[in-house]
Amino acid sequence: MALVAMSFTAPSFSQEERAFSPKIKVQDTSSDLIDSSPAKPAVEQPKSEVRATSGAPRRIQRHGLGIGLGQTFLLGGFSKHGNNKITADLLYSYAASYSFDLLANAHFSQHKDEGEKVKLLGFNAGIKARVVEFDNFSPYVVGGLGFYAPQVRRHSGGKMQWSDQKLTFGVNFGAGVDLRLNDEWVVGVLGQLHAPFVVEQEGQKDVRGYYFKLMFTGMYLF
């Protein structure tokens, strides 16, 4: 019986053996199991953008067709035979580069003054150079050459007669401003001086004079 009692008796350990017994530590991985997905980059909130107002970009190698409407002022010898009046011009332009355009002008008008009369016929072309461009607003200068055929009816030799109409060369120059309304329409103001060379006559005085045009312009680009 004593042997049976010893076999079923739990072994006892001394305090020293308990003190030196190893302890196993288990790592807590619960936090890793909660969120093991990769970190997502922070998304910035959209900020309000302030866009600067800028003009429509200028396009080159474009044609333009339009009209000019304004006053023609007769100067020099022309002012003796006619009065100033409202006239219209036909305009054509070609944008050769971002700074320079070809500008052509064709016009015809008649000016009366007490039986005398002046006829002005001209076709000219010049280089239009933009001085500076601010947004859709651009001032410019223009200068060139052209063909003119002025004719006057005046008292000569005791009677009223027309001068001989002859084609002559001449110069023109001026300045203006353009305002681009959109990609197709341009409006502005143009002041231009036309100075035909002297037209020589036989049996009467030579025809000489010049004139200045101040007009509103409107042009369609294509």
The domains of the chain are located at 63-221
**8 A C-beta contact, residue 176 and residue 188:** yes
Among residues 57, 64, 56, 59, the alpha carbon closest in space to that of 220 is found at 64
pLDDT of residue 134: 86
Q: Which two tokens stand for residue 71?
A: 């006053």
Find out whether 113 and 120 touch, Cβ atoms under 8 Å.
no
DSSP assignment, residue 80?
Answer: G
Closest by alpha carbon to 73, among 114, 109, 104? 109
Residue 182 DSSP class: S
131, amino acid identity: V
Q: Does residue 152 contact residue 172 with C-beta atoms inside 8 Å?
A: no
User: Alpha helix locations (H) across the chain?
Assistant: 2-7, 15-19, 30-34
pLDDT by 10-residue block (mean), the chain, 222 residues: 43 47 51 51 48 59 97 96 96 94 97 93 96 90 97 86 94 97 95 96 92 98 95
What pTM does this model have?
A: 0.72
8 Å CB contact between 189 and 134: no
In this structure, the strands spanning 210-221 and 151-156 are unpaired
Q: Which two tokens stand for residue 94?
A: 């070609």
* Identity of the residue numbered 196: P
Give the distance, in angstroms, between the CA of residue 162 and the centroid of all CA atoms in the same chain: 46
Q: Round to whole Å and give the CA distance between 208 and 20.
A: 130
pLDDT at 55: 53
> Taking a C-beta distance cutoff of 8 angstroms, is the pair 212, 122 a contact?
no
pLDDT for position 39: 55
Q: What fold does the segment set 63-221 form as a domain?
A: Porin (2.40.160)
The pLDDT assigned to 115 comes to: 85
Q: pLDDT by residue (tens digit) across 167-188? A: 999 999 999 999 999 999 999 9
Predicted confidence at residue 40, as pLDDT, reads: 56
